[in-house]
Amino acid sequence: MVLAALVLALSAWQAELSRDSSGAHWSVALLIVIGFGAALVLGRGRQSRTTRRWVAQNVHLVRTWRTRPRSAVVSALVWAVLIGGVVAWDLVSFVFQSHDLPTLSYFIGHVTRYAVGRGLLFAAWLGVGAYLVSARRAERPQ
């Protein structure tokens, strides 16, 4: 509960800062450093497999994709197409520099123009970052 209140307060404070202020830049940099530190602390001693074993298992999963449930294969393909499409869209819009095909930063700029949009986007960024840093790391491997 306290953590949620802190996130909301930090997001509201961040929303009131201008996008180009040094306070906004330093707070994001500090949060990134805290995120890396938290990942190191939460992940220490919790890796159940060596890197070589992890890579071998992923290679095996790719080789045997036909034996996986159809829903898992479809979801992986959908995510691959979505990520590839977003990267291709941004790449094409940067290469051709056309106003007919705006970049993603153009759309994000419209959202972050307003304090509410900056606060909500910042809170979403914190949420995604917290999930990526701590996901499944709080549990000890079996």
Give percent above pLDDT 70 in the chain. 90
Flag the least confident range among 2-6, 47-51, 87-91, 104-108. Answer: 47-51
Residue 65: domain span: 2-134
Give the closest residue to 133 by CA, choosing from 11, 53, 34, 51: 34
Q: Could you tell me if residue 78 is inside a domain? A: yes
Residue-averaged pLDDT of the chain: 81
Domain count, the chain: 1
Q: What pLDDT sits at residue 84?
A: 94
Q: Could you tell me if residue 140 is inside a domain? A: no
pLDDT bracket for residue 140 (50, 70, 90): low
Q: Could you tell me if residue 95 is inside a domain? A: yes
Tokens of 55: 């890579």
Q: Could you tell me if residue 62 is inside a domain? A: yes
Spatial CB neighbours of 40, under 8 Å, sequence gap ≥ 6: none
For range 120-124, the mean pLDDT:
88
* Exposed e or buried b per residue across 114-123, where buried means at least 16 C-beta atoms within 10 angstroms of its C-beta: eeeebbebbb
Q: Could you tell me if residue 58 is inside a domain? A: yes
Higher pLDDT, 29 or 18: 29
Per-residue pLDDT at 5 exceeds 60: yes
Q: Could you tell me if residue 19 is inside a domain? A: yes
Spatial CB neighbours of 23, under 8 Å, sequence gap ≥ 6: 17
Cα-to-chain-centroid distance, residue 120: 15
User: pLDDT digits over 91-101, tens only?
Assistant: 888 788 777 77
Per-residue pLDDT at 20 exceeds 70: yes
Q: Could you tell me if residue 113 is inside a domain? A: yes
